[in-house]
Homo-oligomer: A and B are copies of this chain.
Amino acid sequence: MPKVLFLPFQIEEKVASEETIIDVAMRLGIHINASCGGIGTCNKCKVMVESGEVRGEKIEDLYFKACTLKPITDVVVRVPVESQYDRRALLRKTRAQALERREEVVINPPISKHFIELVPPTIEDNTPDLERLFSHLGNRGFSNVTLPYTTLRNLPHRLREKDFTVTLTLFRDGPVNRITITDIEPGDNRDKILGVAVDLGTTTLQLELIDLTKGELLAKTSDYNPQISFGEDVISRIEFARKKEGLKILAERVRERLFILIEELLKEAQREINEVSIVSLAGNTVMTHLFLGLEPKFLREYPYVPVAKYYPTIYARELNMPLGENVPFILSPSVASYVGGDITAGVLASLMTKEPEITLFIDLGTNGEIVVGNQDFLMCAACSAGPAFEGGGIKHGMRATSGAIESVSIDPITLEPMILTIGKKKAKGICGSGIISLLASLFRTGLIDRVGKYRRDIKHPRLRRGEEGFEYVLVFKEDSATGQDIVFTENDIENLIRAKGAMFAGYQILLESVGLTLQDLERVFLAGTFGSFIDLEDAITIGLLPDLPRDRFYFLGNTSLQGAKKVLLSQEKREELNRIAQMMTHLELSNHPQYMDYYMAALFLPHTQEDLFPSINKEN
């Protein structure tokens, strides 16, 4: 791995194989002007190679485009800077450290296969098939067993195919303490038992295929939630569900897509559809309602009542999913209308309920769900943050897909931006992590004040009065993919400040409700893919995350999926999940008498109360 030494900053760093020099610079917080997102067309990111061997595109004889530049040997690169003050921009990007939560889980899935050899009937003992089976099971200690009608219909043939030796698939439906025979196969088929774990996200569906004999991951995949065509966020989907057939359409689309993804997984793992024996899903309350075809409208109507907290197990046939008729779909329990199964599953996966450390669990998805607790207590709330951090309600906001600006810095002297896009494509818009960094950069460079208004006294070609008031031009149209300027308006800033204010007020109220303060937090867990991309410093700078020692922040990845998977592997984990849902006290923020005060106080950058953000205020 070659190294690069950046001059005049005297900062040395290793270069990963897929990185260009501009990527490394962005990581280190070294500003290099860049307007095209790293695609190589704006010709602004010029750097001088003082020594070493490189590949890359030259510009103006002496320079290379940093966005094309890759070192072959160790290199020394000089970045042209306007003044020594540019060093002020040096702010190494810090991501939360990844934390893989591992625990020893004894493989004991809620569904299991059992090979049994019945004594074939004779004229002396022509006990009916069903009672022959039940009696055998009773002798092996299985009582309270039921057989669905569809399985009963198959029973006589299945028994006789291999001389009364069969493999039973037994599903122990924990919450109702009952064993259901979900399938009967001739002969010994014990080694073929698969489970599918699903994170049922508003935007994305993520799936894993698990071999339940060993708990081994066989394949994983993901795709957009096809309901997106009917509404980007949960609210617009609830609205769509009010239309005639709306709910039916939403339910069908996501089930169909799930089935296609399951087929993909099976193809990759070279396994058969009839080996899929169980599906475990975790999703927010709205997604779970829509998947099940349960009326969602009361979730958003006062007083926000879900249809259920613990969802009964639903079988493939009831969902019209072309898996085995009795394949159970188990759903992670919800706590409230806006604290759903993704959060309970997430808390399960986080292991925070097994440890003494007081932990704040934050899922910054379409909404912001937060949980505070440890092994002794759990308290949760939903912050009505809205979708701003996923690009919603932001003029040029977009989801984190190809062409989205994901990294931003602004030179404090020139006020010129450096942007990088996902996939190094021409910029289409800005996604969540870019939005946070942009807001933080605008604040750091003094382009905006503490209430989020552009400084009217600064004259700069990128700062102008647009149709919707003052705005900063991040990308001029000649460099954008849309042929339009990509701007960041005061409206956008206001929306973001409201969103982060809602989150921050949420932390405060939630902690206060259990007699704690932010300083008592020993750990902050960031869940969801978003948590891995946001820059910690930037997020703290704008007051989205609390100003705590950076080593208390951990990124846990897709805890919803991890939780859904744990439940597949262990009946005990399923019970633990249900206990978590039971234990989790929900605080209705909108109803809290102090909430408005805390929220109003958070509508500043980083916050009205300066002592809450000592590291930020010291800096500015």
Contacts and interface: CB of A to CB of B under 8 A. Distances in A.
A255 to B, nearest CB: 14
Q: Which 7 A-B pairs have the closest CB atoms?
A: A130-B308, A128-B306, A123-B303, A128-B309, A126-B303, A156-B295, A121-B305
A334 B149 contact: no
A116 interface: no
**Residue from the set A124, A156, A293, A334 with the largest chain B CB neighbour count within 10 Å:** A156
Interface string A352-374: 00000000000000000000000
Interface in A298-339: 298, 302-310, 312, 314, 318, 334, 336-337
A620 interface: no
A146 to B, nearest CB: 6
Interface string A124-136: 1011111100000
Contacts of A150: 318
Contact of A312 (B129, B149, B292, B591): B149
Contacts of A176: 144, 146
Contacts of A126: 303-305, 336-337, 588
Contacts of A294: 152-153, 156
B131 A310 contact: yes
A155 interface: yes
A147 interface: yes
Given A131-B310, A312-B149, A314-B149, A304 B123 contact: yes
B156 A312 contact: no
Interface of A: 121-124, 126-131, 144, 146-150, 152-153, 155-157, 160, 176, 178, 292-295, 298, 302-310, 312, 314, 318, 334, 336-337, 588, 590-591
A127 B130 CA distance: 41
A406 B195 CA distance: 66
Given A129-B307, A156-B307, A157-B295, 14 more contacts: A122-B303, A123-B590, A123-B591, A124-B588, A126-B304, A127-B309, A129-B305, A130-B308, A149-B292, A149-B314, A152-B312, A153-B292, A155-B307, A178-B178
A123 to B, nearest CB: 4
A131 B155 CA distance: 36
A149 B308 contact: no
Contacts of A591: 123-124
Nearest to A132: B305
A578 to B, nearest CB: 12
A298 B225 CA distance: 48
A333 B178 CA distance: 22
A130 B337 contact: no
B318 A128 contact: no
Contacts of A127: 305, 309
A334 B130 CA distance: 12
B318 A149 contact: yes
A19 to B, nearest CB: 49
11 contacts: A123-B302, A123-B588, A126-B337, A126-B588, A128-B305, A130-B307, A130-B308, A144-B176, A146-B176, A157-B295, A160-B298
Contacts of A588: 123-124, 126
Contacts of A292: 149, 152-153
A174 to B, nearest CB: 13
B336 A130 contact: no
A152 B307 contact: yes
A334 B588 CA distance: 56
B306 A121 contact: no
Contacts of A304: 123, 126
A129 B306 contact: yes
Given A126-B588, A157-B295, A303-B126, A131 B309 contact: yes
A287 to B, nearest CB: 15
A187 B461 CA distance: 68
Nearest to A151: B312
A309 B123 contact: no
Nearest to A297: B156
Contacts of A590: 123
A312 B131 contact: no
Nearest to A145: B176
